[in-house]
C-alpha cells in the first residue's frame, strides 16, 4: 500500500447513490486545498431495498457490494490512513446493517463508518463551505439525500446549527409515488408530509437567519440542471433554483402524469424514479423556510469527508476537538485525566511498541477514554461509569462515527467495576481495556504519582510486575490489584500479579 499524503479518498454510501472521490492536497501559504482528481458514482438505490420492518433486501445489498468492489479496485494502492468511508441514513436504520457491512468492508478493502445524522450534517457543511466562494454573513445549506435531509446554518467554515430529518428523495418517492404516477392530490400530500417534518425546525432556523441559501449534492444539482436547461427559473435567473422554477417543474410533472413520461432536457434516467419525491421535499423546504432562491454546489458529504480526513492527517482531528469540548462542558478533572492517559498509553506501548495505524488509533481512544471516563459524575457518583458510557454513546459528538462512539463508550463503561457486563459484548478491546483499568486503579489517590517501575505483558495471561517493597507500603493498591486479577479470572481471562525484588 502507498502512503501518499497528497492523495486522499472518500467513499459515501448514500441511500440513493454510492460515491467515491479522490482528491489531491495542495499546500499553500494560506492553507491546504483539495482538488478532486477522480470520481465514481453508482446508483445503488439502497433505500429502495429497505422493507417496512427496516430490513435491507438481498438485491439492494448485492447492488451495494458490486459497487464497492469496483471502488475497491480504484483504491487498491491507497494506505488506510488516506481513505475514509462513511454510511448514512439507510444503514443507520437498517436492522441487518451489520450483515451488509461485513461483506461491504471486504469488497471495499477499508473500514466503513456509519455516521449519525448531525455528523453527516457537519461533514456536508464542510464540503459545501469549501466548494463555494467565501461570503460574509451566515449560510443555510440544505442537502436532500435518499433517506434523510440535512439542514445546516453556518458562518465561514463553522457550522452553527445542524439538524437531520428522516425525509429523502428515495423514501419519499417510494411512499407517495411508488409507480411514478403523479397528480395534483398526491403531490400535495407529499409536500404536506415533508412540511410537517420541516416545521419542527423552521422557527429556530428562521430566527437564526442566513444571507445565502445553498442546495448541495445530488437532488439539488439535478433539480437545478432541469430548471436551467428547460428555462423554468424566473426571468433573469440563469442558474440555481427559484421558487417559481420549482412550481413550473411541478406543473410539467403533473401534466405528464407519470415521471417516466416526462420529456425534459437534462433529465437523467437514473434520477427519474426519485424526481417526484425530491421535488416535493424541495418545494416544502422553500415554503417552510421562506426561500425564494438557492444556489447549488456539488460539494457535500464526500468533499467534507476529504477535508475532515485532511484535518486528521494534519493533526487537527475533529474528534480531539470534540473530546476537549466535552471535558470542559462536564468539568473534568484535567490533571487526573492526564495522569491516567499517560500511564495507560505507557502500558499499551509496553505491550506493543509498533506504530501501525491500528495501534496509533488505539492510543487515541485510550487518551479520549481517559479524558471522558468521569463525565458521568455530573449526573451521579453512583454507577457514574454507566452514565459516562451513556453520554459517550448517545450524545452528538462531531467527528465521531457511531462505531467510534460505541468503541469509546465500551472503554468508558469498562474502565472500572465488574467485567461481566462486557463478557458477552462483541469486539471488546481487552488489551486496551487492561491498560486503562490498570491506570485508573493506580491513580486512585488523585495526586501526583511517584510510582516505581511497573511492567506489563500479555500472552498466555495479562501480567503486572510490581516491586514487592512498594506494594508493602501501599496495601490498598496491593489489595486492589488482587481484586482486579480475580475480576479478570471470572470472565475466563488469566491475570497475574508478580511481585519483584528491588
Q: What angle do CA 36, 40, 42 make, to 5 degrees?
A: 150
Q: Could you list the residue range(s) of the whole structural domain that residue 353 is in?
A: 317-500
Q: Which residues pair with 27 in a beta bridge?
A: 32
Q: How far is the CA of 95 from the CAs of 218, 311, 401, 480, in angstroms?
A: 26, 32, 17, 41
Residue 424 has φ and ψ, to the nearest 5°, of: -100, 0
Contact between 56 and 96 under an 8 Å Cβ cutoff? The reply is yes
> What pTM did the predictor assign?
0.74
In this structure, the answer to whether residues 75 and 138 fall within a common structural domain is: no
Q: Note whether 168 and 99 are same-domain residues.
A: no
pLDDT at 315: 58
Give the CATH number of the domain where residue 82 resides: 3.30.420.40
Question: Exposed/middle/buried for 404, CB within 10 Å: 0-12, 13-18, 19+?
Answer: buried
263 & 353 share domain: no
Instruction: In whole angstroms, give the CA distance from residue 174 to residue 45.
Output: 11
* Statement to judge: residues 256 and 371 lie in one domain: no
Collapsed DSSP state (helix, strand, coil) of residue 142: strand
CA distance 100 to 282: 31
**Boundary-marking domain end, from 266, 298, 330:** 298
pLDDT value for 159: 93
127 belongs to a structural domain: no
pLDDT over 90 at 380, yes or no = no
Judgement on whether residues 262 and 378 belong to the same structural domain of the protein:
no
What is the distance between the alpha carbons of residues 179 and 181, in angstroms, rounded to a whole number?
A: 5
pLDDT tens, position by position, 113-132: 999 999 999 999 999 888 87
- Dihedral of CA 297/302/306/311: which sign? positive
Q: Residue 77 domain-assigned? A: yes
Query: Of 265, 298, 331, which residue sits at a domain end?
Result: 298
Q: Is 177 exposed, middle or buried (0-12, 13-18, 19+ CB in 10 A)?
A: buried
258 in the same domain as 147: yes
406: CATH: 1.10.3210.10
Residue 466 lies in a domain: yes
d(CA 219, CA 176): 17
Using DSSP, state whether 331 is helix, strand or coil: coil
Give yes or no: residues 107 and 143 share one domain: no
Q: How far is CA 83 from each of CA 1, 5, 181, 209, 317, rounded to the nearest angstrom?
A: 12, 10, 41, 36, 15
Cα–Cα distances in angstroms (integers) from residue 168 to residues 162, 238, 365, in the given order = 17, 27, 34
Indicate whether 183 and 241 sit together in one domain.
Answer: yes
pLDDT at 449: 79
- Specify the pLDDT at position 1: 53
User: In 10 A of CB 478, how many CB atoms?
Assistant: 17
d(CA 489, CA 502): 28
Dump the DSSP string for 439-478: HHHHTTT-S-------EEEESSSEEEEEEHHHHHH-HHHH
Say which DSSP state 82 is in: G
- pLDDT tier at 470, thresholds 50, 70, 90: very high
Looking only at the bridges linking them, the beta strands covering 138-144 and 17-28 are unpaired
Higher pLDDT, 256 or 380: 256
* Sign of the Cα pseudo-torsion (95, 97, 103, 107, in order): positive
Q: Are residues 108 and 136 in the same domain?
A: no
Are 226 and 349 members of one domain? no
140 and 202 part of one domain:
yes
Those residues whose C-beta lies under 8 Å from the C-beta of residue 32, and which sit 6 or more positions away, are: 25, 26, 310, 314
What tens digit of pLDDT does each residue of 317-333 get? 668 878 888 898 899 99
One domain for residues 453 and 327: yes
Q: Is position 424 within any domain?
A: yes
Domain assignment present for 353: yes
Alpha carbon distance 172, 147 (integer Å): 8
Q: pLDDT value at position 68?
A: 98
Strand ranges across the sheet with 7-13: 31-43, 17-28, 7-13, 83-87, 112-114
Rounded CA gap, 414 and 422, in Å?
7
Q: Mean pLDDT throughout 101-111? A: 96
The predicted pLDDT at position 5 comes to 56
Q: Helix, strand or coil for residue 32?
A: strand
Contacts of 43 (CB under 8 A, 6+ apart): 16, 17, 270
Residues 247-266 have pLDDT tens digits of 999 999 999 999 999 999 99
How far apart are the C-alpha atoms of 363 and 349, rounded to whole Å? 9
Q: What are phi and psi of 87, to 5 degrees?
A: -120, 150
The CA-atom distances, in angstroms, between 18 and each of 11, 13, 14 are 7, 5, 5
**pLDDT at residue 174 is higher than 60:** yes
Determine, yes or no, domain membership for 126.
no
The CB density around residue 188, as the number of other CB atoms within 10 Å, is: 14
CA distance 51 to 369: 37
Report residue 11: phi and psi, to 5°. -120, 130
Ramachandran assignment for 29, one of left (phi > 0), alpha (psi -120 to 50 degrees), beta (any other): alpha
Q: What is the largest CA-CA distance in the chain?
A: 91
Question: Which of residues 33 and 104 earns the better pLDDT score?
Answer: 104
Average pLDDT for 19-40? 82
| Cβ proximity of 122 and 162 under 8 Å | yes
Residue 133: all three cell numbers together: 466562494
Residue 193, domain CATH: 3.30.420.150
Residue 479 included in any domain: yes
Residue 448 confidence class, pLDDT cut points 50, 70, 90: confident
pLDDT at 489 over 80: yes
First to last CA, the chain: 47
Q: Which of 284, 309, 334 is the last residue of a domain?
A: 309
> Residues 172, 193: contact at Cβ < 8 Å?
yes
Residue-averaged pLDDT of the chain: 91
Domains held by the chain: number: 3
Domain membership of residue 125 (yes or no) is no
Task: Decide: helix, strand or coil at residue 282.
Answer: helix
Least confident interval from 24-28, 200-204, 241-245, 449-453: 24-28
Amino acid at each position: 500500500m502507498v502512503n501518499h499524503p497528497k492523495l486522499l479518498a472518500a467513499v459515501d454510501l448514500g441511500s440513493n447513490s454510492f460515491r467515491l472521490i479522490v482528491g489531491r492536497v495542495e499546500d499553500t501559504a494560506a492553507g491546504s486545498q483539495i482538488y478532486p482528481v477522480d470520481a465514481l458514482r453508482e446508483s445503488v438505490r439502497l433505500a429502495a431495498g429497505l422493507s417496512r420492518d427496516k430490513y435491507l433486501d438481498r438485491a439492494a445489498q448485492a447492488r451495494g457490494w458490486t459497487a464497492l468492489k469496483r471502488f475497491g479496485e480504484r483504491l487498491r494502492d491507497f494506505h488506510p490512513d488516506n481513505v475514509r468511508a462513511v454510511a448514512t441514513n439507510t444503514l443507520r436504520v437498517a436492522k441487518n446493517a451489520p450483515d451488509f457491512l461485513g461483506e461491504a468492508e471486504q469488497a471495499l478493502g477499508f473500514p466503513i463508518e456509519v455516521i449519525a445524522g448531525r455528523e453527516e450534517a457537519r461533514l456536508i457543511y464542510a464540503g459545501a463551505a469549501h466548494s463555494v466562494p467565501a461570503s460574509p454573513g451566515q449560510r443555510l445549506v440544505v442537502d436532500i439525500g435518499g433517506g434523510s435531509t440535512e439542514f445546516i446554518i453556518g458562518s465561514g467554515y463553522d457550522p452553527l446549527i445542524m439538524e437531520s430529518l428522516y425525509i429523502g428523495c428515495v423514501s419519499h418517492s417510494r411512499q407517495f409515488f411508488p409507480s411514478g404516477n403523479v397528480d395534483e392530490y398526491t403531490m400535495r400530500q407529499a409536500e404536506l408530509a415533508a412540511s410537517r417534518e420541516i416545521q419542527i425546525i423552521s422557527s429556530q432556523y428562521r430566527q437564526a437567519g442566513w444571507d445565502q441559501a445553498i442546495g448541495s449534492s445530488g437532488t439539488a444539482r439535478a433539480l437545478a440542471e432541469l430548471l436551467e436547461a428547460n428555462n423554468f427559473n424566473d426571468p433573469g435567473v440563469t442558474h440555481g433554483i427559484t421558487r417559481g422554477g420549482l412550481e413550473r417543474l411541478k406543473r410539467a410533472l403533473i401534466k405528464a402524469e407519470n415521471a417516466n413520461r416526462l420529456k425534459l432536457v437534462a433529465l437523467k434516467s437514473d434520477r427519474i424514479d426519485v424526481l417526484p419525491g425530491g421535488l416535493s421535499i424541495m418545494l416544502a423546504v422553500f415554503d417552510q423556510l421562506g426561500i425564494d432562491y438557492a444556489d447549488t454546489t456539488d460539494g457535500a458529504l464526500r468533499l467534507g469527508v476529504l477535508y475532515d480526513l485532511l484535518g486528521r492527517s494534519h493533526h487537527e482531528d475533529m474528534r480531539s476537538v470534540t473530546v476537549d469540548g466535552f471535558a470542559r462542558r462536564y468539568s473534568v478533572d484535567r490533571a487526573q485525566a492526564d495522569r491516567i492517559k499517560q500511564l495507560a498509553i505507557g502500558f499499551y506501548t509496553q505491550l506493543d511498541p509498533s506504530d501501525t495505524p491500528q495501534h496509533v488509533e488505539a492510543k487515541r481512544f485510550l487518551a479520549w477514554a481517559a479524558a471522558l471516563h468521569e463525565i458521568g459524575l455530573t449526573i451521579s457518583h453512583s454507577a457514574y461509569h454507566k452514565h459516562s458510557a451513556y453520554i459517550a454513546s448517545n450524545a452528538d459528538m462531531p467527528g465521531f462515527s457511531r462505531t467510534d462512539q460505541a468503541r469509546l463508550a465500551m472503554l468508558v463503561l469498562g474502565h472500572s467495576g465488574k467485567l461481566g457486563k462486557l463478557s458477552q459484548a462483541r469486539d471488546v478491546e481487552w488489551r486496551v481495556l487492561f491498560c486503562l483499568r490498570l491506570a485508573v486503579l493506580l491513580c486512585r489517590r488523585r495526586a501526583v504519582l511517584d510510582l516505581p517501575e511497573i511492567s506489563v505483558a500479555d500472552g498466555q495471561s495479562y501480567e503486572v510486575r510490581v516491586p514487592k517493597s512498594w506494594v508493602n507500603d501501599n496495601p490498598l493498591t496491593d489489595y486492589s490489584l488482587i481484586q482486579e486479577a480475580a475480576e479478570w479470572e471470572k470472565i475466563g481471562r488469566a491475570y497475574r500479579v508478580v511481585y519483584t525484588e528491588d
